Structure 1
Amino acid sequence: MYRLSKLVRPGRVRYFASAHETASLNTTRRQGWFKPSLFVLGSIPLITLGLGVWQLRRLEWKLALIDEVEGRIQADPMILTSPKFTTEDALKELEYRRVLLKGKWDHAHTIFLGPKTRDNVHGYNVITPMVLDDGSKILVNRGFVSNAMRDSVAAPQEEVIIEGFVRPSAVRGRFTPDNDPSRGTWYWADVAAMSKIAGAEDAGHFLIEEIFTGHGGDAELQMRRGEAIGRTPTPDLRNMHATYAATWFSLSAATAAMFGLVVLQSRRGKGSARGRVFRMPSG
């Protein structure tokens, strides 16, 4: 409680704070203004605003990438006659490029990747090496087959022509179990390891994902016959940057409003305290 000095004059009494008390009050006001909690609260709108701007830049990058990939998909397919058509460095420029392959399946080295799900049906992706005319091999993800047809999946022996996308090796997810090649258990597409087992080392940095262009009824018929169903001819590029940006901007606006309200209440409280100390009642 502040010690007040009293000055008595005829007809009125005034109360004044001493110089020490005034300095103490100013220190208290400054400490209230520079509380660490206010600093933290004030920094949150700036941080979230920056994250929102960063997501907008990521959105521009992702849209440009999608346009580039769609351009590759719409281009005429390349005829692939050898796995040496690309290097690991050039693979980024050829990802999602449509290619045509002609050869025979090496069913003895078929790999089942999964488990997977398609239209609420559980199963696996069938990966089989294709032997090209020059004797080299390329891994082909032929598509999905149900659990019920895994042991009787279609295995054509004649020469075939397929169309597919060029795709790089997958990256193991944080919670994905590791593969066990000795037991034939594959949870993720480690192309290098798969190629080594299948004798397709020349194509150990990429595989071909076969494209399915039929309708839902065609897919159901193929599934019943044990024929693998390829992927859709569209890129699977996830784009959530607009949603993330909106979320960050909303948080920035909300926390900025909270900060302004706290500062306003703090200033009002300090003003009231000052008025109480320097009250001058008339006698």
Structure 2
Amino acid sequence: MKKLWVRWVAMTLLVMVLGLVMVRLGEWQLHRLSGRRETNEIIRTNENKPPVEWSTLMGEHPVTSQEQWRPVTITGSFDTAHELQVRYRSNSDDDGSEVLTPIVTEDGQHVLIDRGFLKRSSRNGDDQALPPPPSGTVTVTGRVKGNEHGKATATDPVQGKVRLINSEAIGKAQGITYVNGYISATSMVPAQTGLVPEELPHLDEGPHLSYAIQWFCFTAIALIGLFVLIRGDVKDRQKRRAKANRSSTPTETIDEPDSSASPKESQTTDARTSAT
């Protein structure tokens, strides 16, 4: 019995630990679902707003979540000397890169403009010529985006290439003070060629709800499995006890006449018994 108790306690502790981990994972997926729904609602709301002057939303302060995806307009001239290629990007089902070109406004402000997406070449990959921006004064309409964060190897530009768009890291590397965040262009006047605007993300809820349900189901399965295991051990122990009790009960024996004796010997034995 002692061994069973040890087994049950060990299994219970294991199920408790696994259950806590799986419940936490389920809650984490629900948290991600809530964030996804909030982001989708912000995109839907801001996308339908009319464009405003970029300086009303962007400045020294970081772009807030409520300001993301707001349409804005900005006028200035492109600084192609500090242009960067943003690698390992995707747009809908296509893989490729984006072209990040600073724009300088009339009052000397430097703002990063994501001019658009360049599909990866089947021959040269991302090592291809970047389409030039329009020259002279350009008016860009686009969406406000906040800085992307990651390791320095992703945010610091190297040989005209970068993986994440972070105005602070790029400005530090280039020796330029950029406005916090950047603008993802949707159109510009004069128009550019060779690049396509970044598409809005899919406004679905993703697999987070189904993942959360799976983790909670795994927790329930572990608890039910523990109950079935203990119940099976108890039943096996009861069967062993019943079998042991049957084996220890004495059985009565009845003497029967020897069937191998001859009829004559049997009669003689019976006669002697009667005479006695």
What TM-score do the two structures reach when normalised by structure 2? 0.71
1:240-279 correspondence to structure 2 within 5 Å? 240-279=207-246
CA contact (8 A) 1:154 1:228 kept: no
Match of 1:171 among 129, 149, 152: 149
- Aligned counterpart in structure 1 of residue 137 of structure 2, from 132, 154, 159: 159
User: Which of 135, 146, 151 is the aligned partner of 2:108?
Assistant: 135
What is the deviation of 1:139? 0.5
Deviation at 1:253, TM superposition (A): 3.2
State which of 80, 93, 96 in structure 2 corresponds to 1:107. Answer: 80
Larger Rg: 2
C-alpha deviation, 1:73, in angstroms? 2.1
Q: Where does residue 256 of structure 2 map in the other structure?
A: none
> Which stretch of structure 1 is more off in the superposition, 176-185 or 93-102?
176-185
The question of whether the paired residues in 2 share the 8 Å contact of 1:143 and 1:228 is answered with: yes
Q: How far, CA to CA, are the matches of 1:93 and 1:129 in structure 2?
A: 24
Residues 182 and 46 of structure 1: is their aligned pair in 2 closer, same or farther, counting only changes over 3 Å?
closer
1:207 is displaced (CA, Å) by 0.9
Q: Are the equivalent residues in 1 in contact too, given 2:168–2:178 (CA < 8 A)?
A: no
Do the aligned partners of residues 39 and 139 (structure 1) sit closer, same or farther apart at CA in structure 2, a change above 3 Å counting? same
Question: What amino acid does structure 1 have at the position aligned with 2:249?
Answer: P
**For residues 202 and 143 of structure 2, what CA distance do their matches in structure 1 show?**
10
**Alpha-carbon shift at residue 182 of structure 1 (Å):** 5.4
In the TM superposition, residue 95 of structure 1 has moved relative to its aligned partner by: 1.9
Tell me how far apart the structure 2 counterparts of residues 31 and 155 of structure 1 sit (CA, whole Å): 73
Query: Structure 1 residues 230, 29: closer, same or farther in 2, change over 3 A?
Result: closer
Alpha-carbon distance between aligned partners in 1 of 2:202 and 2:77, rounded to the nearest angstrom: 27
> How big is the shift at 1:264?
1.9
Partner of 1:93, secondary structure, is: coil
Q: Answer whether contact 2:114 2:182 (CA < 8 A) is retained.
A: yes
1:268 Cα deviation (Å)?
Answer: 0.9
Paired residues in the alignment total 243
2:71 to 78, 83, 98: 98
**Cα shift at 1:128:** 0.5
Which residue matches 1:194? 170
1:281 paired residue number: 249
| TM-score, length of structure 1 as denominator length | 0.70
The 5 Å alignment of 1:211-226 reads: 211=186
Deviation at 1:266, TM superposition (A): 0.9
The counterpart of 2:26, out of the listed 52, 58, 69, is: 52
Change in 2 beyond 3 A, CA 1:212/1:44: farther
Shift, 1:197, TM fit? 5.1
Contact 1:100 1:162 in 2 (8 A): yes
CA RMSD, 1 decimal:
3.5
In structure 2, relative to structure 1, the CA distance for the partners of 1:160 and 1:198 (3 Å cut) is farther
Deviation for aligned residue 1:131: 1.4
> 1:67 corresponds to which residue?
41
Offset of 1:87 from its aligned partner? Answer: 0.9
The one-letter code sitting in structure 1 at the alignment partner of 2:211 is: Y
Aligned-pair identity (%): 19
Query: By how many angstroms is 1:245 displaced?
Result: 0.6
Question: What is the rounded CA distance, in whole Å, between the counterparts of 2:66 and 2:170 in structure 1?
Answer: 23
Deviation for aligned residue 1:115: 4.1
Report the Cα distance in structure 2 between the residues aligned to 1:169 and 1:201, rounded to whole angstroms.
14
Greater RCO (CA < 8 Å, at least 6 residues apart):
1
Aligned counterparts of 2:15 and 2:227: Cα–Cα separation in 1: 10
The secondary structure found in structure 1 opposite 2:65 is helix
